[in-house]
Structures are given as structure tokens and as C-alpha cells.
Amino acid sequence: MKLINNGIIKFDYQFPIYNFFFPNQTFNSFSGDENSISRILGNANSEVNSRALYFHIPFCESICTFCPFTKGLYKNHEVIDRYVKALINEVEYKSRFIDYKAIPIRAIFFGGGTPSLLSPENIIDIGETIKKYFDLSSLQEFSFELSINSVTREGIDALKEIGVTHTRFGLQTMDPTWRELFNLTASIDTIEKSSHLLVSNFDYVLCDIIYGMHGEDEEVIISDLDKAIELGLSNVDIYPINNVVTSSKLHKSVRDYTDNITSATRKFSMKLLIDLHMRSKGFMPHNGHGYVRSNITDQVVTDNYSFIYHEHVYGYGDHDFLGFGINAISSLRGHVITNTTGREKYIDSMNKNIYLCKISQHDELLDEMKPLILRLPYHGYADKSQIKMNLVPERLYDRLNELIDSGLIVDDTHSFRLTKLGWYWYSNIMFYLMPEAEQAILKKIVHEELKTPGKFLSKKEIIYSAGLNV
């Protein structure tokens, strides 16, 4: 990837994955055993001042064709009950090695899959476990993902009882053609009724919108945004479609539907249009893709709201998070722990008090680099007082200075901040600032995904034509 200087086009290509973990989980990896888990979790509280929790619920009533996350269909609720028991067992198992209450929890996130498929009893059981084992005195955000099809009055009551503050659902689009291609099964009537129920019970209700699909025009994007806003939601997260990780089925369906490729340049122009439209509707960006109802200012991102969970995923070196459930990640200083991916394997092993995981080990210098590589581009700024600037490697400094010279970042003595132009390029800036070894791993992931039969990525989707002759 090269920086170029052609007006607003600042890179020669768009890296086709937009959000990713750092440090990567592949360095010096090994299978975890009780001794290694005891050692790593026993030291996990050292130099950590803020923590988040993630709980993965992998069940779905139907499979969305764009979704890259670990999920699966289920036959009956009995398997969900067994999974919840295993999830609670994992919390209890790890409590033998780590003093959970030493670090107050600032954010909790239930993702999936479809967490709203949990019964009210399941929700209460997990909530009581969280309250028992963790210090929630500093909790600022408790997020819970839902399928709009499975919103119920009883479920909402259970969420409120355990302290959920933010509910989230995947609207994605209201366009009937794309809803069919994405295998989105909720009716418009269900969307409107469930949204009303959520908005009347929670201060923060968020939905996701996807844009940039092949054959989609700007009128569809504006219509989707307007309809999401009309639902009365507090937040809208707006993502470009990630064609690298969408299903082969979707790739085939899109090719059958249209041969009109959305170019990298057009997708970039869509982001500019989205930002102008959302601001005109009373929404401010708070990170690279999220908008919140707020007083409109000329700030790049608002100071009035932050996605606290992602302050730990894309945060400072003294912020970490613990993950529970299949394929859940725990990002700790010096290590990343990734839980087993098999649903039945996870249930059976945890119910026997056996914890299956992969562990990767990395230099803690990477944890100190994380706020510059991830937090700065994603959240729009990084406070120098929370970064050990004396440890920043020369290459990273050089790359920062290149971005400053290109007008994408500002060094204002006490912090680094994105310019407005830098905000448009946040995901490329994340990739550009990464060490070369981490870049190589991400490139390999892209190549491996595109080997999947039926997947295809056009050069036009990645290469900025305006940068070819610069």
C-alpha cells in the first residue's frame, strides 16, 4: 500500500477488510492447557486499568449471506440451554486463575449469532453470573445484539433486569431485492413494531446498515438511512460491504443479479455522501463507521459519545477484554486467547471443566503500539499521555509523520487526531500503520478467503483508478 497525493484520493488501493484485531492471533500460537491458562490469566491484571467482557451466542434462526461470524442453526432450545450452562461454567472455570474483581468492568457486549434467541431464563442466569463474579461499579455500557424477529416483551424485561443499556439489531437494508439476497427474513411490519418496542424501553437502540453492494445506487443508500432514522433510533452503524468474507452463495447471487461492479472510488464517494446526509439529519460520527444523534459541530468525531466496548478492542495499552463462548477472543497484554470453534466440542468440554483454546504470544511492545495503530484511526484521536511514546518504534513514527505530511493526521502536542480527510480513510490508515508482519498475515487471510470456490473480487473494487498514474 502506497500513499499518493491526488486530491482526496490518498492511497493507491483499498485494503478489502475494514476492521480487524491487533495483535494478530497467529504469532507463536499453541494449544492452551491448565498450566498455561493459569499463568496467563494469573498475570492478566498487571498494567491493566480498564476491562470489557464479550459473550458469544452462536445460534441463528436463519443464516444471513453476508455474515462472517461464528454461527449456526439449531433444532430446539435444549442445545441453547446446554450452551448457556457451558458459558457459565467457563466464567467459573477462569475464576480459579484470575481475580475478576480486581479490574472494574466498563463495558459488556453480547454478540452472535443471535443473543436474543436466549430465553428470559437464560438471560437472567447469565446476568446473575456476571453480577456474582465481576465488579460492575464502573459499568458504562451493556450492549446486547438482537434479531428483529425475536424481540419479545418478556425478553426485554429480562434484558432490563440484568442491566442492558444498549440494544442492537441488523437492519442492513430496507431494499426488497437486497433483503432477499442477504436472506433477511423480517417483514417491514415486524421491523417497525420491534423497533418501537426497543425505543420505548432503552435510551440507546442501534442498527447496522450495509452499503456499497454491486448494483446498489445512491438512492437506495439514502432511502435506507432515512428509514433507519425514521424508526427513532439513537445510533446507526454504517458499514461498507466486506466482499472478502461474505458467503460464496451471496457472490453467486450477486453475479446473477448484476454485472455492475461498485468500484473502490464509488464506494469512497458513497462514504462522503453518507456523512453529509447523516449530519444533515442530526447525527454525528463517533468513530469510523458509527453515528449518534447529537448536536452537530464541525468536529471530525463527537466528544459526547463513545462505543466503550470498542475502546477496549481498539484502545489503549492498559485496556483489555475477556471473551466467553465459542471462538471468543480474550485480548490480554502479551497474549491473545481464542476459544475453540466447535459448538458441541465447547459444550462437552466445558461441562467436564476442560477449557479448549489456542493461545498466541506477542511482544508487549505491540500492546503499546495499539493505540496509535487502532485507536487513533478508529476513534479519531489518541491521547499521548496514555501512550508510552518512548517505546514507539522508528518505523511507526515514520509512518505517522508520512500521514501527517499528507494531511490525514494532526499532531497537536497532547494528542494525535485525524483530520476530516483522514477520517474518510480510517481503515486504510489502520492497515498502513501496522507492522509489516501483521500486514502480511492480513493479506494472507484475504488470499485464503478468495480461494473459496465461488468467491470473486474484481480489481476495480480495490484499486483507486485516480491513483494509477500518480
Q: What is the pTM of this model?
A: 0.93
Same domain, 123 and 272: yes
Same domain, 391 and 415: yes
pLDDT 10s digits, 11-44? 999 999 888 878 776 777 899 999 999 999 999 9
The Cα 377–Cα 207 span in angstroms is 22
Asked, for residue 378, whether it belongs to a domain, the answer is: no
Structural domain boundaries, residue 411? 1-23+384-465
The residue among 204 and 450 whose pLDDT is bigger is: 204
pLDDT above 90: percentage of residues in the chain: 75
Domain tally, the chain = 2
Same domain, 306 and 412: no
Residue (of 210, 180, 215, 178) closest to 461 by Cα position: 215
The Cα 343–Cα 83 span in angstroms is 8
How deeply is 432 buried, as exposed, middle or buried, from its count of CB atoms within 10 A (0-12, 13-18, 19+)?
buried
pLDDT 10s digits, 242-272? 888 888 888 888 888 888 899 999 999 999 9
pLDDT 10s digits, 105-132? 999 999 987 888 899 999 999 999 999 9
Q: Examine the fold and report which residue of 297, 313, 329 is the final residue of a domain before the chain moves on.
A: 313
Q: For the chain, report the end-to-end CA distance as a whole number of angstroms.
A: 14
How deeply is 188 buried, as exposed, middle or buried, from its count of CB atoms within 10 A (0-12, 13-18, 19+)?
exposed
Same domain, 106 and 76: yes
Give residue 66's pLDDT.
Answer: 61
Same domain, 69 and 103: yes
- Residue 140 sits at φ, ψ, to 5 deg, of -110, -20
Identity at 443, one-letter amino acid code: K
Query: Do the beta carbons of residue 214 and residue 261 sit within 8 Å?
Result: yes
H helix runs in 171-257, sequence order = 176-181, 188-199, 218-230, 248-257
C-alpha distance from residue 328 to each of 71, 321, 340 (Å): 12, 10, 8
Residue (of 328, 269, 265) closest to 55 by Cα position: 328
* CATH assignment at residue 250: 3.20.20.70
Query: Do the beta carbons of residue 108 and residue 52 sit within 8 Å?
Result: yes
Asked, for residue 419, whether it belongs to a domain, the answer is: yes
Give residue 122's pLDDT.
Answer: 96
Same domain, 57 and 17: no
**How far from chain centre, in Å, is Cα 309?**
9
